[in-house]
Amino acid sequence: MPTYTSLTTLKGKDAANDLGLALENLENAPYGVGVFEIEDGSGLYEVGAYFIDAPNEIELLILSTVHGAKPFVVSKVPDKDWVAEVRRELAPVEAGDFFVYGSHDAEKVPNNCKPLLIEAGGWRGGRSRAPRARRRGVGRGICDYRLHPSQPGASRE
């Protein structure tokens, strides 16, 4: 199923939030809208919308003009397995005695190291994994990590 992105930038938090709300009211409403501050001190915000069907570029041009934003850049996202694509690009890291890796590289763990499995958190509708980690007694929940099952004290959950 194709996905389309439309991105623009503009100055000001209120203006960016207003544009985000206006996007949600389009007849061909996007299934996701994001408003993000560009953290470079410029005061710019990025507004993005994600569509299943190609968006009406004239409507987007009108919205960007009315809200003082740059014209939207619309792109079709290639239909591919993005998880597999990212995993191909992620390589384990050797840092001193440690071997840091994801579960997709479990077969690459050498015997003469301290393996540290770190799983990337998946998208959970904007909810952080931190509350669950705190309930499990992991501290502040910065990331979900485990020792390799072969290591003493490793959890098998």
Q: Where are the domains of the chain?
A: 3-77, 82-147
Q: Which residues contact 52 (CB under 8 A, 6 or more apart)?
A: 1, 2, 3, 4, 31
Q: Per CATH, is 3-77 categorized as 3.30.70.100?
A: yes
Model pLDDT, residue 138 = 36
Model pLDDT, residue 89 = 77
Claim: this prediction has a pTM higher than 0.75:
no
8, 18 Cβ separation under 8 angstroms: no
Model pLDDT, residue 120 = 65
Model pLDDT, residue 132 = 35
Per-residue pLDDT of the chain (157 residues; tens, 9 = 90+): 779 999 999 999 999 999 999 999 999 899 999 999 999 999 999 999 999 999 999 999 999 999 999 999 999 988 888 777 777 777 888 888 998 888 888 888 998 888 988 876 544 433 333 333 333 333 333 444 445 555 555 554 4
Model pLDDT, residue 151 = 53
DSSP-assigned letters across all residues of the chain: --EEEEEEEEE-HHHHHHHHHHHHTSTT--SEEEEEE-SSSS-EEEEEEEESSPP-HHHHHHHHHHTTPPPPEEEEEP-S-HHHHHHHH---EEETTEEEE-GGGGGG--SSSEEEEEEPPPP-TT--SHHHHHHTT-TT-S-EEEE-TTSTT----
Model pLDDT, residue 4 = 94
Model pLDDT, residue 71 = 97
Report which of 121, 120, 116 is spatially closest to residue 93, judged by C-alpha positions.
116
Model pLDDT, residue 152 = 52
